[in-house]
A and B are shown apart, each in its own frame.
Chain A
Amino acid sequence: MNWLRLLFMAPAWLFLALLFLLPLGIVACYSLLSRGLYGGVMPPWTAGNWLRLAEPLYLEILLRSAAVAAASTLLCLALGFPLAWFIAQSGKRRNLWLALVMLPFWTSFLVRTYAWMFLLRDTGLINSVLLAAGLIREPLPLLYNYGAVILGLVYSYLPFMVLPLYVTLERLDKSLLEAAADLGARPWHSLWQVVMPLAAPGIRAGALLVFIPCLGAYLTPDLLGGGKTILAGTLIQNQFSSARDWPFGSALALALTGIVLVALVFEIRRKQETLL
Chain B
Amino acid sequence: MGPLLELRGLTKHYPSHCAVDGLTLTIGEGEFFSLLGPSGCGKTTTLRLIAGFEQPSSGEILLRGAPVSGLKPYQRNVSTVFQNYALFPHLDVLSNIEFGLRHQRVEAGEAARRVAELLALLELENKQRRRPAELSGGEKQRVALARSLVVHPAVLLLDEPLSALDPNLRKQVRNELRAIQRRVGIAFLFVTHDQEEALSISDRIALLREGRLVQTGAPEELYLRPNCRFAASFLGPVNWMNGIGVRPEATVISPQPHPAGGSRPAVVLNCTFLGNCFHVAVRLESGECFTAEIPRQAALFAPGQPVHIWWDKRDELELPEL
The interface of chain A, by Cβ under 8 A from chain B, is: 173, 175-176, 178-186, 189, 193-194, 197-198
Query: B172 interface residue, CB < 8 Å from A?
Result: no
Complex: how many Å from CA A11 to CA B51?
57
Q: Are the C-beta atoms of B103 and A182 separated by less than 8 Å?
A: no
Nearest A residue (CB) for B98: A183
Q: Are the C-beta atoms of B151 and A184 separated by less than 8 Å?
A: yes
B86 in complex: contacting residue of A178, A184, A189, A193, CB < 8 Å: A178
On whether A180 and B82 interact (CB within 8 A), knowing A197-B90, A198-B89, the answer reads no
25 contacts between A and B (CB under 8 A): A173-B84, A175-B82, A175-B86, A176-B86, A176-B89, A178-B51, A178-B53, A178-B80, A178-B82, A178-B86, A179-B86, A179-B87, A179-B88, A181-B52, A181-B74, A182-B53, A182-B73, A183-B103, A183-B148, A184-B100, A185-B74, A185-B103, A186-B74, A186-B103, A198-B90
Q: Are the C-beta atoms of B74 and A176 separated by less than 8 Å?
A: no
Chain B nearest Cβ from A270, distance in angstroms: 14
Query: B234 interface residue, CB < 8 Å from A?
Result: no
The tally of residues in B whose CB lies under 8 Å from a CB in A reads 24
Q: Are the C-beta atoms of A175 and B74 separated by less than 8 Å?
A: no
Q: Are the C-beta atoms of A181 and B72 separated by less than 8 Å?
A: yes
Contact with A along B104-123 (1 / 0, CB 8 A): 10000000000000000000
Chain B residues near A175 (CB, 8 Å)? 82, 84, 86
Nearest B residue (CB) for A177: B86
Nearest A residue (CB) for B157: A182
B residues 146-169 with Cβ under 8 Å of A? 147-148, 151
A185 in complex: contacting residue of B53, B89, B99, B147, CB < 8 Å: B99
Q: Are the C-beta atoms of B79 and A183 separated by less than 8 Å?
A: yes
Q: Are the C-beta atoms of B103 and A189 separated by less than 8 Å?
A: yes
Complex: how many Å from CA A178 to CA B79?
10
Going nearest first, the 6 A-B pairs with the smallest beta carbon separation are A183-B100, A184-B103, A181-B73, A179-B86, A175-B86, A197-B90
Chain A nearest Cβ from B72, distance in angstroms: 7
Contact with A along B43-62 (1 / 0, CB 8 A): 00000000111000000000
Complex: how many Å from CA A178 to CA B52?
9
Q: Are the C-beta atoms of B90 and A183 separated by less than 8 Å?
A: no
Chain B residues near A178 (CB, 8 Å)? 51, 53, 73, 80, 82, 86
A183 in complex: contacting residue of B52, B53, B147, CB < 8 Å: B147
Chain A residues near B147 (CB, 8 Å)? 183
Nearest B residue (CB) for A189: B103
Chain A residues near B82 (CB, 8 Å)? 175, 178-179
4 more contacts with CB within 8 A, not counting A183-B151, A184-B104, are A175-B82, A176-B86, A176-B88, A186-B74
